[in-house]
Amino acid sequence: MDQALHDRCRSEPGVTPRTVILDCDPGHDDALALLLALARPEVRLLAVTTVSGNAPLEQTTRNALRVLTLLGRTDVPVAAGADRPLDGVLRIAPEVHGASGLDGADLPEPAAEAVDASALELASAFLEAEDAVTIVATGPLTNVAGLLSARPDLLPRIEAIVLMGGAIGEGNWTASAEFNIWADPQAAAAVMTCGRPLAMMPLEVTHQARLSTADMAAMEALGNRTGLIFADLMRYFARVHAEWYGWDGPPIHDAVAVAHVLGGGLITTRRYPVSVEVEGRHTRGRTVVDTRPFSSAEATVDVGVSIDREAFVRMLLQAIAVFP
């Protein structure tokens, strides 16, 4: 590992970190989002809360603990949240992430356990203690909607909600819908109307954030255990995108949400009105992004439209190099 790089990423002078709770469903790209949040000085990660999505809740919670064990950060508390969407119907994605949710690499067994509290309880405790917390949500929005409903008194403590999900145009799970929103559109609709600052990283921007075969080789060439494992994970994650889209590498959807929190102009956003279709026969889970310049609807969501891919990949490689 490059010690100078380690020191620069861990303790960059003059950086005031944003306090973050990461709500996720690991998931290959969630794992890389978690790594990026831990590596960068712009983020102080308070906790990880898990939700069913890419895999059932038991697996996504175990996967979060396995990633933290790999990274040597079992000090970060993990709490399990909702085990199914608001409508009670579990929807998962083994076709993409495998049966475990993190197939493809030899991750360590967890060296810690989830805390004896629910995701709602843990997030509420941190919101009560902190002046401003950014929630970064990279899975279905069930936990976030539950928090907003159960603890509306804590809304002023939420600085912003940054989510990976949705699409302006075509979806990836259906013709209309991206998976995270499709999995729990009722929760997404509640979040979109919560009144707090919102940023949405849709497929239009995350599909630009793709790794290439050379990028995955560069992960492996770092020579650390973390690089080797993440190279294997990304190669597994790439296989379905090769089949579906003909790409030579996977889009790192969820790390884009963390990259947006870091700032620095990496991601370009535009503010639009966004609503969520919850009942449509063919359009359930669609995020309706009103891009019309003459729209009368209130524009309340900062929607990602482009990303500097090369800078994003460099950032990911630097972050991976921080760890053993």
The residues annotated as belonging to the active site are: 253
CA-closest candidate to residue 277, choices 154, 150, 173, 188: 188
Question: E strand or H helix at 47, and its extent?
Answer: strand 43-50
CA distance 188 to 203: 16
Q: Is residue 175 exposed (0-12), middle (13-18) or buried (19+ Cβ within 10 Å)?
A: exposed
Residue appearing with tokens 């800078």: 311
State the pairing for strand pair 18-24/43-50. Answer: parallel
Written as six digits, the tokens of 276 are 């969520």
Question: E strand or H helix at 225, and its extent?
Answer: helix 225-245
Written as six digits, the tokens of 321 are 């190099």
Tell me, what DSSP letter sits at residue 198? E
